[in-house]
Each structure stands twice: as C-alpha cells, then as structure tokens.
C-alpha cells in the first residue's frame, strides 16, 4: 500500500520553524576559553529527562483510584515504556519475592506440578509484542460527554514486548485430561483475582510472562509472573500468577459474573466476551492539544485488533464524509499496536478527525451509531467505536460525539 508522497519541501512549508538568522546561541561554536559545566555522571538505572513529563495521570488521582492510564498522545512508535503501561488492579500491588514464588498447575491433569521461577526461566522461551487492553477502556465513550483527552478515552491500553513460556508447553508437562475444557487462573494479590480461559485459547498463544520490554515484568504488571492472553480483555491476563486449575467449566468468579459482563438493553448480559475487537484512535492531534498554526500537521495514531493484524487504517478530516488510506509504518504484529500516519494540511478551519481500522479478518471498526444499535448504553465495556476529535478554528482540539 505505497502512498504517493507530495514533494516534502513544498508540502511541509514549516512557517513556524526559526530562520537561520535567529539561531540560538547554543548552536554556535564554543568561544575560545569558554568554561562549561560538566554533565551528570553515569547512573544505576536511567530516568526520562526531567523536561519530559509523561505521566500515568492526566488529572490528580483520587485516594480510591484503582487504575492509571497510558499517556498515548505522548508516545511514538508501538512500544509502551514499562513505567507508562496502564495499571488496573482490584486490591493493590503485592510485593512478591521471586525466590519463594511458585506456580501450581493442578485439576484435570495427569501430573500436578509446582514450578519455581528458576524452573520456568530454564524452559524454552518466546518474546512477542502484544497489546493489553482493559475491556473498560473507552468506557466513558458510551456517554455523550466522553473524555477530554486520549489518555482518558483510550489509555487503558498499552503494548509491550513480553517474554516467557508458552502455556501450551506447561500444559504438555502436566498432561491435560480429555474432559478438560477451561483453565482457571488465580493471582497472588490480596483479593486472589481469578478469571477463566477456554482451554482451546490456553493452548494457542498464551504466554506465562516474566519479561516486559527486555527487563523483569514490573510490579504493577504482575511481577514476577503474569498470564498474558493475547487479544483478550486485560483482566484475563491474571497478574502475580500463582495457580492454574484445569477444569471442565469456568469458575464463574466475581470478575466474570458481576463484573466484566456486558449488560444489554433487554436485561440479558453477554458473558465471556474475551476478544477485544479492532479499534483505532488518532493520538495527534487529539483532545487538549493545540495546533499552533495552519499548515502541515501529521495525523498519527494507533490501531490494534484482538483477532490478528491490522490490514488497513483510513482517516477522515471531514467527520466521516470522505476517507483516505493512512500509511501503516513500522511493524504489523499480530494482536499488537500498529502505528499509522497521514499527512494533513490544516487550512485553519473547523475539522472533525476520525480513524477507522480494518483487521485481517475483514472486520471494520464500527460507527458509534452501529455500536449503540447493537449494544445500547447500559454497559461500560468493549467500546471500540470510531473516535472523533474536533479541531477548532483556534487550533484547540476537543472531544466530540460524532
Ligand atoms: Co468482555
């Protein structure tokens, strides 16, 4: 899908950039005899520049907060830095010593086994880029008020490289009995958070992860061990994983009955809606940003699908009346963030920007109207509507329900 790129010099016309005659003195040669301060010495563990202030909060957190959001508008490429991966935990982050941590696999198996971290690390390993998305992500998008920025509207989604053991390999070690059809996973947090996963999926691409972006999984993400169920709602990727029970039915745990089910207008609820459908969002320009001048602005965003790869992303700058293919740049991994970019010359007028993803199953991200028709407004989960941002004549970007 190669796109014709306009002549960059003619198209960009960066009126805002400083002319050479006003070069800052920092760019000029050092004067003879000038003494400059030494910089910092090496450190044990690096930190972002103090001038870069990406945070998992875009508003001050309240005392009872149990989640924090990835600042998607601040990030480039497809990787979420580990320290900016969104958090959602139900009973706090436990402190776990990996030397005493164990994973027990039992139930409908031939040989129940207990694995230490050492046992797991010596097994064959895999490293894969996958997104994790809370099914409550974009929950505020069910209400007309929506969210003011992309961190609050879409920031319960992140993408990292995860390293660990395939669950299929562990299940092979214990020997699954023929009557088994589910896996029940339990975490070592205070509430023993647990979720059930169909055996068919557990035998597919599920990873028992101890690595995240090249280092140990962060405590907020389940240190020392988490279940990673690619493409499924985040709560089934049970953190601080300590027990897997092979069973013939789901456990019907609290977080798959009273929570994480989708209430429909007729009073029925959708249950075990695990897969996160294809979704995309423009991260720049996005809510609470401001375009400083008319002219060239690159529209950038992220797309992902719980069913496979992203085949196509289209962008509209006229509220969905016309669409143009965005350029998909960088890797296009299965069940991972995919970066799209689209050149745009802002004329200084009012514009409604949208993006629309299609995955490799042919599924197309729905409009808000189509989603409301199918599900109503009584759930907070699984909102993957086409998202709109409105660029005002002032350059300010605001949320709009379109
Ligand atoms: Co669900």
CA of 210 to the centre of ligand 1 (A): 25
Residue 19's pLDDT is 63
**pLDDT tens-digit series, residues 365-374:** 999 999 999 9
* Residue 358: cis peptide before it, omega within 30 degrees of 0: no
CA of 274 to the centre of ligand 1 (A): 5
Least Cα distance to 186 among 234, 222, 240 occurs for: 240
Q: What are phi and psi of 241, to 5 degrees?
A: -60, 125
**pLDDT tens-digit series, residues 51-71:** 998 999 888 877 788 899 999
134 and 170 fall within a common domain: yes
CA of 382 to the centre of ligand 1 (A): 6
Distance separating alpha carbons of residues 373 and 264, to the nearest angstrom: 11
Residue 5's pLDDT is 55
* Mean pLDDT over the full length of the chain: 93
205 and 286 fall within a common domain: no
The answer to whether residue 6 scores a pLDDT higher than 80 is: no
What value does the mean pLDDT take over residues 269-274?
Answer: 94
CA of 70 to the centre of ligand 1 (A): 20
254 and 326 fall within a common domain: no
Q: Is residue 348 part of a domain?
A: yes
The owner of tokens 């990292």 is: 160
The answer to whether residue 7 scores a pLDDT higher than 70 is: no
Domain end: 215, 241, 270, which one? 270
Report the SS3 class of residue 82: helix
Q: Is residue 28 part of a domain?
A: no
The owner of tokens 């050092």 is: 30
CA of 56 to the centre of ligand 1 (A): 24
Domain end: 239, 270, 301, which one? 270
CA of 254 to the centre of ligand 1 (A): 13
Q: How many separate domains does the chain show?
A: 2
Residue 8's pLDDT is 59
What CATH number corresponds to the domain at position 335? 2.60.40.650
Instruction: Pull the structure tokens for residue 22.
Output: 């006003």
Q: Is residue 293 part of a domain?
A: yes
CA of 238 to the centre of ligand 1 (A): 14
Distance separating alpha carbons of residues 42 and 361, to the nearest angstrom: 49
* Residues in Cβ contact with 190 at an 8 Å cutoff, skipping those fewer than 6 apart: 91, 92, 94
CA of 135 to the centre of ligand 1 (A): 6
CB-based burial, 195-215: b 16+ in 10 Å, e otherwise: bbbebebbeebbbbbbbbbee
The answer to whether residue 25 scores a pLDDT higher than 60 is: no
CA of 165 to the centre of ligand 1 (A): 25
Q: Is residue 182 part of a domain?
A: yes
77 and 223 fall within a common domain: yes
Residue 80's pLDDT is 98
**pLDDT tens-digit series, residues 286-324:** 999 999 999 999 999 999 999 999 999 999 999 999 999
Report the SS3 class of residue 140: helix
CA of 32 to the centre of ligand 1 (A): 66
CA of 71 to the centre of ligand 1 (A): 23
Distance separating alpha carbons of residues 113 and 119, to the nearest angstrom: 11
Residue 2's pLDDT is 45
Q: Is residue 258 part of a domain?
A: yes
169 and 265 fall within a common domain: yes
Report the SS3 class of residue 84: helix
Q: Is residue 21 part of a domain?
A: no
Report the SS3 class of residue 170: helix
Q: What are phi and psi of 84, to 5 degrees?
A: -115, 5
CA of 331 to the centre of ligand 1 (A): 27
**pLDDT tens-digit series, residues 217-235:** 999 999 999 999 999 999 9
Residue 223 domain boundaries? 67-270
Which has more confidence, 23 or 48? 48
Q: Is residue 122 part of a domain?
A: yes
Q: Is residue 199 part of a domain?
A: yes
CA of 304 to the centre of ligand 1 (A): 16
CA of 161 to the centre of ligand 1 (A): 23
What value does the mean pLDDT take over residues 85-100?
Answer: 96
227 and 373 fall within a common domain: no
Distance separating alpha carbons of residues 337 and 78, to the nearest angstrom: 5
| 168: exposed, middle or buried (Cβ count in 10 Å: 0-12, 13-18, 19+) | middle
The answer to whether residue 154 scores a pLDDT higher than 70 is: yes
Question: Could you please report the per-residue DSSP string of 199-234?
Answer: HHHHTTT-EEEEEETTEEPPGGGTTT-EEE-TTBBG
What CATH number corresponds to the domain at position 239? 3.90.420.10
253 and 328 fall within a common domain: no
What value does the mean pLDDT take over residues 23-42?
Answer: 77
The percentage of residues in the chain with a pLDDT greater than 90, rounded to a whole number, is 85
Q: Find out whether 174 and 105 touch, Cβ atoms under 8 Å.
A: yes
Report the SS3 class of residue 198: strand
Distance separating alpha carbons of residues 197 and 183, to the nearest angstrom: 5
Residue 1 confidence class, pLDDT cut points 50, 70, 90: very low
CA of 214 to the centre of ligand 1 (A): 29
What value does the mean pLDDT take over residues 108-131?
Answer: 98
CA of 234 to the centre of ligand 1 (A): 9
**pLDDT tens-digit series, residues 322-367:** 999 999 988 999 999 999 999 999 999 999 999 999 999 999 999 9
CA of 341 to the centre of ligand 1 (A): 30
Domain end: 247, 270, 293, which one? 270
CA of 271 to the centre of ligand 1 (A): 7
Instruction: Pull the structure tokens for residue 125.
Output: 């390993």
235 and 290 fall within a common domain: no
Which has more confidence, 6 or 42? 42
**pLDDT tens-digit series, residues 227-269:** 999 999 999 999 999 999 999 999 999 999 989 999 999 999 9
Distance separating alpha carbons of residues 242 and 189, to the nearest angstrom: 9
CA of 158 to the centre of ligand 1 (A): 17
Residue 146's pLDDT is 92
356 and 384 fall within a common domain: yes
Helices (H) and strands (E) in the chain, counts: 6, 23
246 and 125 fall within a common domain: yes
265 and 323 fall within a common domain: no
CA of 87 to the centre of ligand 1 (A): 18
| Cα angle, residue 80 at apex, residues 120 and 189 outer, rounded to 5° | 50
Distance separating alpha carbons of residues 55 and 52, to the nearest angstrom: 9
Instruction: Pull the structure tokens for residue 89.
Output: 């935990």
Instruction: Pull the structure tokens for residue 228.
Output: 């990673």
Least Cα distance to 179 among 245, 247, 111, 113 occurs for: 247
266 and 304 fall within a common domain: no
């Amino acid at each position: 899908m190669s796109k014709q790129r306009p002549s960059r010099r003619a198209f960009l016309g960066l009126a805002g950039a400083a002319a050479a005659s006003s070069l800052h003195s920092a760019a000029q040669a050092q004067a003879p005899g000038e003494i400059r301060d030494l910089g910092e010495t090496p450190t044990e563990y690096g930190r972002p520049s103090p001038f870069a202030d990406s945070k998992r909060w875009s508003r001050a957190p309240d005392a009872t907060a149990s989640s924090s959001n990835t600042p998607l508008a601040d990030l480039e490429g497809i990787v979420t830095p580990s320290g900016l991966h969104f958090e959602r935990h139900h009973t706090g982050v436990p402190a776990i010593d990996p030397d005493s941590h164990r994973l027990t696999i039992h139930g409908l198996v031939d040989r129940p086994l207990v694995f230490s971290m050492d046992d797991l690390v010596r097994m064959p390993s895999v490293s894969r880029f996958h997104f994790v998305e809370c099914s409550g992500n974009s929950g505020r998008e069910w209400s007309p008020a929506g969210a003011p920025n992309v961190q609050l509207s879409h920031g319960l989604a992140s993408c990292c490289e995860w390293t660990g053991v395939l669950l299929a390999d562990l299940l092979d070690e214990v020997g699954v009995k023929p009557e088994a059809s589910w896996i029940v996973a339990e975490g070592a947090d205070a509430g023993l958070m647990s979720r059930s996963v169909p055996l068919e999926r557990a035998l597919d691409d599920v990873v028992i992860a101890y690595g995240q972006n090249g280092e140990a999984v962060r405590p907020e993400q389940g240190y020392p061990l988490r279940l990673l169920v690619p493409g499924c709602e985040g709560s089934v990727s049970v953190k601080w994983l300590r027990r897997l029970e092979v069973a013939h039915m789901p456990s019907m745990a609290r977080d798959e009955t009273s929570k994480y089910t989708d209430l429909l207008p007729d009073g029925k609820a959708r249950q075990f809606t695990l897969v996160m459908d294809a979704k995309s969002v423009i991260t720049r320009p996005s809510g609470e940003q401001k375009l400083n001048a008319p002219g060239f602005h690159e529209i950038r965003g992220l797309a992902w699908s719980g069913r496979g790869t992203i085949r196509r992303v289209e962008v509209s700058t006229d509220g969905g009346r016309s669409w143009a293919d965005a350029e998909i740049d960088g890797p296009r991994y299965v069940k991972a963030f995919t970066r799209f970019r689209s050149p745009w010359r802002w004329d200084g007028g009012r514009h409604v920007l949208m993006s629309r993803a299609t995955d490799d199953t042919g599924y197309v991200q729905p409009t808000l109207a189509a989603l409301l028709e199918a599900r109503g407004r009584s759930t907070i989960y699984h909102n993957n509507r086409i998202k709109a941002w409105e660029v005002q004549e002032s350059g300010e970007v605001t949320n709009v329900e379109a």
